[in-house]
Amino acid sequence: MWNGKKVSVIFPTYNEKDSIRAAIEDFKKSGYVDEIVVVNNNAARGTKEEVEKTSARQIFEARQGYGYAIRRGLDEAKGDLVVISEPDGTFIGRDIIKLLVFSDDYDAVWGTRTDVCLVGAGANMAMHMRWGNFLVAKFLQLLFNTTRLSDMGCTFKLFHRRVIDKIKPDFTVGGSHFGPELMILTEVHGFEAVEVPVNYLKRVGTSSVTGSLRKTVVLAIVMTFFIIKQFIKFKIFRGISHIFKGKTNV
């Protein structure tokens, strides 16, 4: 609970059998989390049993993909404040306080892994990851004229329930580039967001998305083209539509 608001955490899981139990217990230990919703997205054998040893509520999503898992979690979570994170050991439960503090003044709060002091030894933040995430974030910031953005790939995010309810009808992405869609929809619907630095540690196990340079580059390209597509949709086409509507009304 935070200032009278119920706090939900969504953990999507696919390849986190060896870390998910510790992640759930770590976030619950923060003292602010009312519920943890684990979305089992065809996860590795044994994951289901690990989750069942905890107080988390486990939901099963058959459609494969990060976006589908998070979208299911957003449908299931009951909190007034909804936090999205990863159960792979990269994020620290106590960092949730950083997001909660800023939620008093902002509609959405997004973590950023760009503070070198908070990046742990062995974390998957090599030069190509750091600069790739930074440049794609700046590209989105430039096109959509948003608040300062520095990390496109950070999945540690907080949203007020009213934000999710407003943007949910516009969800289209089921894959790994769902993060940019969340950020873009938050902006185009007029909500205010801010970034805060969070700890980023070495992952337990291997990521199915950014476990290699090739996968990282491919994802960055997909995100970039998606951002361009959304810019055309929301800024150009919608702007032209508003101009024609204005002339018609005149």
Quick check: 11 and 26 in contact, CB under 8 A? no
Query: Residue 200's CB: how many other CB atoms inside 10 A?
Result: 24
Considering the domain delimited by 7-249, tell me its CATH architecture: Alpha-Beta Complex (3.90)
The pair of three-digit structure tokens given for residue 10, joined into one six-digit string: 């969504």
The pair of three-digit structure tokens given for residue 225, joined into one six-digit string: 């083209």
Strand ordering across the sheet containing 7-13? 57-60, 35-40, 7-13, 81-84, 157-160, 108-112, 193-197
Per residue of the chain (250 residues), what is the pLDDT tens digit? 999 999 999 999 999 999 999 999 999 999 999 999 999 999 999 999 999 999 999 999 999 999 999 999 999 999 999 999 999 999 999 999 999 999 999 999 999 999 999 999 999 998 888 999 999 999 999 999 998 899 999 999 999 999 999 999 999 999 999 999 999 999 999 999 999 999 999 999 877 665 577 888 899 999 999 999 999 999 997 766 655 555 445 4
pLDDT digits (tens, 9 = 90+) for 140-176: 999 999 988 999 999 999 999 999 999 999 999 999 9
Give residue for tokens 């742990």: 120
